[in-house]
Each structure stands twice: as C-alpha cells, then as structure tokens.
Chain A
Amino acid sequence: MDVSNILASHAAKFQSIAVEKDTPLDVDTGLLTVTDLNPVDEDSYKDNLEEYLQSTARDGIQTLIASLYALPTRASPDGPLAQLPPPTTHLPRAKPLPKPKPPTKWERFAAAKGIQKKVREKKVWDEERQEWVNRWGRDGKNKEKEEQWITEVKANADVDYDPVKAARDERKSRVAKNERQRLQNQARAQTALTDREERKKEIERTLATSRVSTASMGKFDKKLEGEKKMRGVKRKFEPTEVPIEKEKETSLAILSKIDGDARRSRKEKGGDDVLNVRKAIRTASRGRGGVALGRDSGRGGARGKRGGKR
C-alpha cells in the first residue's frame, strides 16, 4: 500500500516548522533568547524591511520554541511548566554576592563538635490544660512557676523568701545572659578580618615570596629602611623511630602517588606530535570509546544486527 499520498496531503495541511540557516542559531533557553549570527540579507532588507525583519524573527523564535518544547515539563494549574536550564549568557549582577554571616561562638563550637542544628518548636504540650501553649511569650510555659497559685517552699527557707520573685529573677537572668552573649557575638563579628586586612595579609605574603626570589635568595639585596627581618619557616623533623604501622602508611602513600594516579597517567598520553591517539580513537569510535570500537570490529560487518542468528 502506498501511503506517500496520504502523508503528503497531511503535510500540506500544516506549515513546516523546520528552520534552515547557514549558521545554526545560538539559543539560550535559560534566558529565552536566541541569537541569529547569519549576516543580514541585503537585498530582501532593502526590498521590504518590515517583512524581512518579521520573517527572521519568526525563524529565530521558531527555533527557540522548538528547544523550549523539548525541555522536561511539570504539570501546573496554568499549563505545563518547562524546566529551564541555567543560562549560558552571563549578565552582570546588580549587587555584590552576599557575604556569609560570621558564625557565633556557639555555631563555631557546634561545628567543631559536629552538633546538628535542631529547630525547637514554639509550642509545647500542656498536660494539665490539655492544649498547646507557647514555650515563651504570652502565657508562656516558662512563666508557669510564677503564675501558679500555690508553691512549695522548703522548711528552712528565709522568712522573706518569695518563691514567685525567685522564679522570675531566674528567668530574667537567663534573658539577660542571652542578650549579653548576643552583644558579645556582635562585637566579635566586627573585629573579624575585614577585606582590607585580608588584602594586607595577602600583600605581605607576596612581598615575602618576592624577597627571596632573586638569584641570591635575597641575601645581597639592598635593605630598605625599616624593613623587617623575615621570619623563615621552622623546620620540623620526623622522629627517627616511628611505629611500624605509621612507616608502612607513609611508604604506601608514596607508592600510590607514584603509580596510582590515573589522572596523571592520562596526561602523559601516548602517541607523538603527529598523531593524537586520544583524538584518533574518539574519531574512529565516534566518541563511544575503545571498547565500543573493539566490539564493532570483532563482530564483523556481514553478520549484521546483534541477536539476528538466534
């Protein structure tokens, strides 16, 4: 049965979506932008400007729409949401990158000890009232001791001992302590190294390297007035006797550095100046690698598809 007629009539109903250009269009789906790097066709430009502009724009947008519709989508109430890749064109930022907050003393301690941050819920369950109440604040659970109508007092307590006042003082002192710590953290954050100081340190380091970078390692250089004496690196020697375990470890580390590094061995590539072996393999195997190449040649052309003889 010949279906070419049916196909042709079906195709005639719809207009083509193919776009043919000499230079393929540069599509940046992340920013919904398409750049047409083909030179302007002067004849049609002069002939009918608006029509020419509209037709080039249409071609470009058709390509962009095609790449947008090829993206993975997610359903939403308004229609399919296309997941955009990160943009390829880099635009300048409007504000500098946000600076990381200096860690508080507790945060530093927690990081050192590996303590995970836990979010405390603001409400706690009150067994007596059988409802959720605030942990602090209005009708807070932390004021329970002050508000209860009867309090147990030890027999040997002072005559003027006020249990409500004692509970309140304790709570207030906790608040004051927290505030004090907050202020201390703030003060500490301000004394942290500023950009300027970091730059200064960097310059000092560069200066130190440049001072020993002459042929005499800085021995015969002219000294400037007020130049500080450089402090060298203190040499540290390994002890002559180490446990056998440690010695084994260091030797193994050296060994693995010598031969185990695949990344290094890759750099010392085979072939000579004439033939780049890696590239040759890539071309011959059409980018699929040597194993695929070997598989293809081993099978032979005549046998055809895999599993054909089963």
Chain B
Amino acid sequence: MLRTVKPKNARSKRALDAREPKEVEDARTAIFVRGTHTGEVVNGVMKELMALKRPDAISFSKKNMIRPFEDASSLEFWAQKNDASMFLVGQSTKKRPAGLVIARTFDSKVLDMCELGVDKFISMAEFKTQKSTPGHKPMMHFASELFDTHPRFIQLKSLLMDFFNGEEVESICLPGLEHVISVSLAPASALQTSGVDSTQDDVKNLPKVHLRSYTIKLLPSGTRVPRVELTEMGPFLDLSLRRCQAADPELWKAAMRRPKLKKQDIEKGLGKKRKNMEVDEMGDLRGRVHVAKQDLGKLQTRKMKGLKAAPGEGESDGDSGDDAEGADGSARRKKRRRD
C-alpha cells in the first residue's frame, strides 16, 4: 500500500487535492498495460485504442507479469499510484491468443473485468481517410437487442461507454462532433435471445462483437437537422467475448451511489418534490396558492351615518368640501374614510 503523503508545499497540495473525490467526475484515465507476451496484433490494437482514448491515457511500455483474473493486486496498486480507474491489459498466450482485458476500478479496487479476444484487426493506417482530432468526444452507437437483455453484453456496453465516453458534460460544441464508435453484434442464435440461463458458460456461443469507428460528415438536408454520412476511419476490430468478472454487488452499489440533487434541480422538477402542485382525481394539474391572512378589521362595509366619527372629535368637520384645507386636514379625512 502507498503511504499517505502529507503535502509539503502549496503545489503538491493542489496536486493532491485534484485527486480527491469529486461530485461530478472527470473522464476515467486508462492505463495500457502489456503482459508478458503481446503479439503484433495486440500491440497494434492497444496503440490505436490509445490514440482514440488520448489524452486520458497512460502507457506502460514495459512488459509486466500480470494475470488480472488471478491476482488483481498490481492493478489496484497502479490505479492508486497513477490516479487511474481503467485498465486495458494486452496479453497473448497459446491458450488465449490476442487477448485484451478491460478492467474498471472503484476506489482503487477492481470493480469488474471483461476479456476480449481479437479475431480481426484493421489498422487506422489502412484507411487513407481523415482521422478525428485527439481529445474530441466520440458518439457511440450500439446495435443489438442483447445490449439490453444479456448480462455479458450489458456489462460490455457499460465498460465501453466508460472507456470512450464516460465523462458527463454540460454542453457540447456541435461542430466538434467528429467521429463515431459503433459496436454491433453478429446475429444471435435463438438460444441466446430466449434463454436467460445461458448467462454463464458457453462463451463460444456468444455472438461476435464488431467495433468500428467512422468519421462523420454532415450534409445539408434542407431542414435544420443535417444528413449524416459516415466515412471509415479505423481501427476496425472483430472481438469475441472470453472470461469475465462481474462486479461485487456491495461494491457496485457503492459505485452507483448518486450525489444528492441540488435545490434548484428539485425546484425545476427534476427531483422528486414539486411544492404546491398536484394532479387531482380528474387528471387536472392543481396549484395551491398561499395568501397572507386577511385582516377583517379593515374590511369596508356599508357606510352609514351613525358609524361616522363623532363631530366633536375633529373641529374642521364642516368644511370638508374645502380644497384649500391643510395637509394635516386631508390626512385626517383619509383616516376617517378608512374607518
């Protein structure tokens, strides 16, 4: 474990403060780790995925003796040391050729992992087209009904979204949208779509994953919304699912905890409570208005002669029609009217 460091100067204090947990988090930083042996394919895949992930990527150029599914302690160590929360481990063995492990951490503990085998890889360099600018947010496209039903693919979708696009932003520059990462599945056999119990085992039966990246071109369409055309950008990957490690329910629950809604969000109606508004039995929206308590003492009722102030009270009672009366006289008249 790392020892806790006490900052000695303001600069290192700022650096440590930047690592503190935040309410709205930044994009996950990914560490690209090479295993004991990585073939040419894995090297290429990692390089290109890193190009897509930049600038939130750290490359470990040396080889590491690591087996994430057996012992994740070094991942946890690196996560804490580098303030990173995502890993891409490339390893090629005889049993599992060209393997990629995507791992995600929470509080520098491994949350979940998924291993993918690379079946086909076409590099960016093979397409002589324009590439996207590093650091731009990609748009993501997932195509298959399994992304909503099958736990393995739900996890894969969540991992890939976190990898490429996890950051929550308030606004985005529309001309800055340049590229698309599309993840599609091969047609699923009937067994997978119907059977829920096929969650585990038989990894062979799971459909292949096609990961494609395109750049977009916006053409005028005669309306406000432009027409989209896609151009191949690369890399193109055909992946197959291998081992996986689902998240520990306790840890997952802790990781999914949301911050409390801000007061203004609640007032906008995003939160749960909208004060003094209600939909009634008949489906009508009803509002309640609170009015200050009415002072009935000041209520003007029918004017009667008998209720007028006694004549002895004010001496200038007779000349009420006189315009040249003094300021105090008119004030008195007003007072009388109010009574």
C-alpha gap A40/B143 in the complex (Å): 8
- Whether A234 is near chain B, meaning CB under 8 Å from some CB there, is no
Determine how close the nearest CB of chain A comes to the CB of B182; give it in whole angstroms: 4
Which listed segment binds A: B159-167, B306-314, B321-329?
A: B159-167
- Whether B20 is near chain A, meaning CB under 8 Å from some CB there, is yes
Most buried by B among A36, A41, A70: A36
User: Using Cβ atoms and an 8 Å threshold, which residues of chain A touch B140?
Assistant: 31-34
Q: Contact flags (1/0) for A47-65 with B, using CB distance below 8 Å?
A: 0010001101110111011
Q: Contact flags (1/0) for A271-306 with B, using CB distance below 8 Å?
A: 000000110011001011111100000000000000
Assign chain A's interface to a size class. Answer: 35 or more
- Whether B171 is near chain A, meaning CB under 8 Å from some CB there, is yes
User: Using Cβ atoms and an 8 Å threshold, which residues of chain B touch A282?
Assistant: 283
- Whether A229 is near chain B, meaning CB under 8 Å from some CB there, is no
Let me know if A95 and B216 touch, CB within 8 A. Answer: no
Most buried by A among B85, B168, B184: B184
- Whether B278 is near chain A, meaning CB under 8 Å from some CB there, is yes
User: Using Cβ atoms and an 8 Å threshold, which residues of chain A touch B282?
Assistant: 281, 289-291
Let me know if A92 and B255 touch, CB within 8 A. Answer: yes
C-alpha gap A57/B212 in the complex (Å): 9
C-alpha gap A53/B218 in the complex (Å): 19
Which listed segment binds B: A12-20, A102-110, A126-134, A146-154?
A: A12-20
- Whether B28 is near chain A, meaning CB under 8 Å from some CB there, is yes
- Whether B254 is near chain A, meaning CB under 8 Å from some CB there, is yes
Let me know if A17 and B221 touch, CB within 8 A. Answer: yes
B 140-166 contacts with A by CB, 8 A: 140-145, 147-148, 157-158, 161-162, 165-166
Q: Contact flags (1/0) for A68-89 with B, using CB distance below 8 Å?
A: 1110011010111111101101
Across the interface, B283 reaches (CB within 8 A) one of A10, A86, A270, A287, namely: A287
Determine how close the nearest CB of chain B comes to the CB of A40; give it in whole angstroms: 4
- Whether A39 is near chain B, meaning CB under 8 Å from some CB there, is yes
Assign chain B's interface to a size class. Answer: 35 or more
Let me know if A60 and B182 touch, CB within 8 A. Answer: yes
User: Using Cβ atoms and an 8 Å threshold, which residues of chain B touch A93?
Assistant: 25, 106, 255-257
- Give the nearest-CB partner of B167 in chain A: A31
- Whether A115 is near chain B, meaning CB under 8 Å from some CB there, is no
- Whether A98 is near chain B, meaning CB under 8 Å from some CB there, is yes
Let me know if A269 and B281 touch, CB within 8 A. Answer: yes
C-alpha gap A92/B228 in the complex (Å): 31
C-alpha gap A285/B283 in the complex (Å): 9
- Whether B297 is near chain A, meaning CB under 8 Å from some CB there, is no
Let me know if B143 and A262 touch, CB within 8 A. Answer: no
User: Using Cβ atoms and an 8 Å threshold, which residues of chain B touch A26?
Assistant: 148
- Whether B139 is near chain A, meaning CB under 8 Å from some CB there, is yes
User: Using Cβ atoms and an 8 Å threshold, which residues of chain B touch A30?
Assistant: 168
User: Using Cβ atoms and an 8 Å threshold, which residues of chain A touch B286?
Assistant: 262
- Whether A94 is near chain B, meaning CB under 8 Å from some CB there, is yes
C-alpha gap A95/B210 in the complex (Å): 31
Most buried by B among A26, A40, A282: A40
B 268-305 contacts with A by CB, 8 A: 270, 278-286
Let me know if B172 and A32 touch, CB within 8 A. Answer: yes
Let me know if A57 and B230 touch, CB within 8 A. Answer: yes
Let me know if B228 and A95 touch, CB within 8 A. Answer: no
Determine how close the nearest CB of chain B comes to the CB of A150; give it in whole angstroms: 38
Given contacts A31-B140, A60-B143, A290-B283, contact A97 B175 (CB under 8 A): no
- Whether A38 is near chain B, meaning CB under 8 Å from some CB there, is yes
Let me know if B21 and A33 touch, CB within 8 A. Answer: no
- Whether B315 is near chain A, meaning CB under 8 Å from some CB there, is no
- Whether A45 is near chain B, meaning CB under 8 Å from some CB there, is yes
Let me know if B168 and A35 touch, CB within 8 A. Answer: no
- Whether B227 is near chain A, meaning CB under 8 Å from some CB there, is yes
Which listed segment binds A: B33-41, B64-72, B185-193?
A: B185-193
- Whether B53 is near chain A, meaning CB under 8 Å from some CB there, is no
- Whether A212 is near chain B, meaning CB under 8 Å from some CB there, is no
Across the interface, A262 reaches (CB within 8 A) one of B104, B142, B230, B280, namely: B280
Let me know if A58 and B229 touch, CB within 8 A. Answer: yes
- Whether A219 is near chain B, meaning CB under 8 Å from some CB there, is no
C-alpha gap A89/B174 in the complex (Å): 21
Let me know if B285 and A289 touch, CB within 8 A. Answer: yes
C-alpha gap A287/B212 in the complex (Å): 43
Across the interface, A54 reaches (CB within 8 A) one of B188, B223, B230, B278, namely: B230
Q: Enumerate 20 A-B pairs (CB-CB under 8 Å) in ascending A order.
A: A32-B165, A33-B141, A33-B142, A34-B140, A39-B145, A39-B187, A54-B232, A58-B228, A60-B143, A62-B227, A79-B176, A83-B170, A87-B168, A89-B161, A92-B158, A92-B256, A94-B105, A95-B107, A96-B106, A96-B257
Known contacts A33-B140, A96-B257, then 11 further A-B pairs from the complex at CB < 8 Å, ordered by chain A residue: A14-B219, A23-B145, A32-B140, A35-B157, A60-B141, A64-B139, A65-B225, A80-B173, A93-B106, A98-B23, A262-B286
